[in-house]
Chain A
Amino acid sequence: MNVVIIDYNAGNVQSLKFALERLDIKAKLSDKPEIIKAADKVIFPGVGEASTTMRYLQAKKLDKLIPSLKQPVLGICLGMQLLCAFSEEGDTTCLNVFPQEVRRFKPKLKVPHIGWNTISDLKKDLFTEKLEQQYVYFVHSFYVEKGNYTTATCDYITPFSAALQKDNFYATQFHPEKSGSIGASILENFLNV
């Protein structure tokens, strides 16, 4: 299977590459449209700040390419937030695949939300019933509100979207590549879509 990880200024893609290697997938890193378009599966990772990252995507013309992709695409963490319509982080207009807004956590509890938390109300294709209430690893200060495309819910300060799906676009707020065997099975489910 030809899996391409979109290579941009996204911090730690190494662990994602390794997680895929553990599933016997040798993923390519690329920012070239022709290579991304030719992939069977595309992963759009992300750690960082929304407005800076959007500017970077625009400079590389990836802002037009990503929403137009037809194969299964998985956004992770900031990647998921950038697939939404708008982020309060730096008041950023995002890629608008998911018509949802990204909000900053009200600091009623500690922010960032760091650590292992449970996912619930799971819907296919990324999730199976046995993943209900399992722990996955989160690190984030902004969250996507719950909406029609929410396929997993997590509760921290407020219930929020732990995962989204619309057509060929999938996204997780948590890091499947860092979530032990549970995370590996979610990545596997994406690869099997």
Chain B
Amino acid sequence: MLAKRIIPCLDIKDGRTVKGVNFVNLRDAGDPVELGQLYSQEGADELVFLDITATNEKRKTLKALVLKIAKHLDIPFTVGGGIRSIEDVASMLESGADKVSINSAAVKNPQLINELSKHFGSQCIVVAIDARQTNNEWMVHLNGGRVPTDKELLSWAKECVDRGAGEILFTSMDNDGTKAGFANTITAQLSDTLDIPIIASGGAGTMEHFYEAFTKGKADAALAASIFHFKEIGIPDLKKYLKNEGIVIRS
């Protein structure tokens, strides 16, 4: 059976991982290649590298980094952050990335999803959507939840699928950083409505939260960052726990 996926997310700035990572067994915890390899060895099913470098100038270092990651990593990985054109995607895929994720650029120019999926195939186009609840409605936000848009989550997600998205990476900005669990009700609604895989993100704090994301939230994959980076939850323990709870997990 198709396994549920566990996906650590690494934030990259100027070619280095950010968020104080405290791995004692790493020579260089700021090295995305080494950290990525460690997660892969621990059983991560996929990795997401999110480039939060502000300038285009610095972004050129990203291509070299992706090449280095691809050289050492034997599981699939996605690169996101500031991708807004066919050229950007081509550069990432040529360097060995398996998928790219687009967020703001898709909201600002939805046609981009059509162009990218036609050019590269849906399977490598992940549309990331950040949303939070305002007046009982889930509204899409940009810039890490700071900038509201007029798009409602479900209708925007449906539009993304119609335009050719291969997967949806949904982050609840209301849950992100709370460690109180994923936004399962709305994630389940997305998963029931859309016929492509949903990656749930935002709110992981305990192993039970992952279990709930896969059961109540009906997510196909669950993404988390700090709880893995700070070793609050080890991937081997998490996978063992989920397997014992009857979730289909690759081990």
Residues of A within 8 A of B (CB): 11-12, 14-15, 18-19, 21-22, 47-49, 107, 109-118, 135, 137, 139-141, 155-156, 175, 177-181, 183-184
Interface residues on B, range: 20 to 34
Given contacts A49-B121, A117-B1, contact A107 B98 (CB under 8 A): no
Listed A/B pairs (15) with beta-carbon separation below 8 Å: A12-B93, A12-B94, A12-B98, A15-B70, A21-B71, A48-B121, A110-B195, A113-B2, A115-B220, A116-B5, A140-B123, A156-B2, A179-B74, A180-B74, A184-B74
Q: Provided the pairs A111-B195, A112-B196 are in contact, do residues A135 and B3 lie with their beta carbons within 8 angstroms? A: yes
Partner of B167, one of A18, A113, A114: A114
B175 at the interface (CB under 8 A from A): no
**Chain A residues near B70 (CB-CB < 8 A):** 14-15, 18
Partner of B3, one of A12, A47, A115: A115
Question: B62 to chain A: which residues have CB within 8 Å?
Answer: none
**Contact between B1 and A118, CB atoms less than 8 A apart:** yes
CB-based contact A114/B197 at 8 Å = yes
Pairwise interchain contact A116-B122, C-beta atoms closer than 8 A: no
A15 B197 Cβ-Cβ under 8 A: no
Is residue B158 within 8 Å, beta carbon to beta carbon, of the partner chain? no
Measured CB to CB, the nearest residue on chain A to B44 is A180
B69-93 interface with A by 8 A CB criterion: 70-72, 74-76, 93
Distance in angstroms from B175 CB to nearest chain A CB is 23
Q: Judge if B172 is at the interface, Cβ distance under 8 Å.
A: no
Contacts of B197 in A (CB 8 A): 110, 112, 114-115
Are A137 and B2 closer than 8 Å at their CB atoms?
no
B71 touches A18 (CB 8 A): yes
Q: Name the residue of chain B whose CB is nearest to the CB of A19.
A: B74
Q: Is B123 within 8 A of A112, CB to CB?
A: yes
Bound: A109/B195 CA distance, A: 7
B96 interface residue, CB < 8 Å from A? yes
With the chains together, A135 CA to B74 CA distance in Å? 13
A155 adjacent to B122 (CB under 8 Å): no
Q: With A and B bound together, what is the CA distance between A50 and B18 in angstroms?
A: 41
The answer for the CA separation of A112 and B99 in the assembled complex, in Å, is 14
- Is B200 at the interface (CB under 8 A from chain A)? no
Contact A115 B74 (CB under 8 A): no
Is the Cβ of A12 less than 8 Å from the Cβ of B96?
yes
Is B45 an interface position by the 8 A CB rule?
yes
Q: Contacts A135-B250, A139-B123 given; indicate if A107 touches B95 (C-beta within 8 A).
A: no
Among B70, B123, B167, B196, chain A packs the most CB atoms within 10 A around the CB of B123
Q: What CA separation (Å) do A5 and B190 show in the bound complex?
A: 40
Q: Does B40 contact A (CB under 8 A)?
A: yes
Closest to A138 in B: B2
Q: Which 7 A-B pairs have the closest CB atoms?
A: A14-B96, A135-B250, A116-B250, A116-B3, A139-B123, A117-B2, A18-B71
Residues of B with C-beta under 8 A to A111: 195-196
Bound-complex Cα distance A18 to B124 (A): 19
Evaluate contact between A115 and B45: CB separation under 8 angstroms: yes
Nearest neighbor of A108 in chain B, beta-carbon distance: B195
Question: In the assembled complex, how far is the CB of residue B12 from the closest CB belonging to chain A, in whole angstroms?
Answer: 19
CA distance A115 to B225 in the complex (A): 20
Contact A114 B123 (CB under 8 A): yes
* One of B40, B67, B120, B166 near A114 (C-beta < 8 A): B166
Which residue of the partner chain, among B75, B94, B124, contacts A137 with CB atoms under 8 Å? B75
Please name all residues of chain A whose beta carbon is closer than 8 Å to the beta carbon of B96 when the two chains form the complex: 12, 14-15, 18
User: Cβ of B221 < 8 Å from any Cβ of A?
Assistant: yes
Contact assessment for B76 and A178 in the assembled complex, using a CB-CB cutoff below 8 Å: yes
Complex alpha-carbon distance, A11 and B120, angstroms: 7
Nearest Cβ on chain B to A180's Cβ, whole angstroms: 5
Interface digits, B91-127 against A, CB 8 Å rule (1 contact, 0 not)?
0011111100000000000000000000011111000
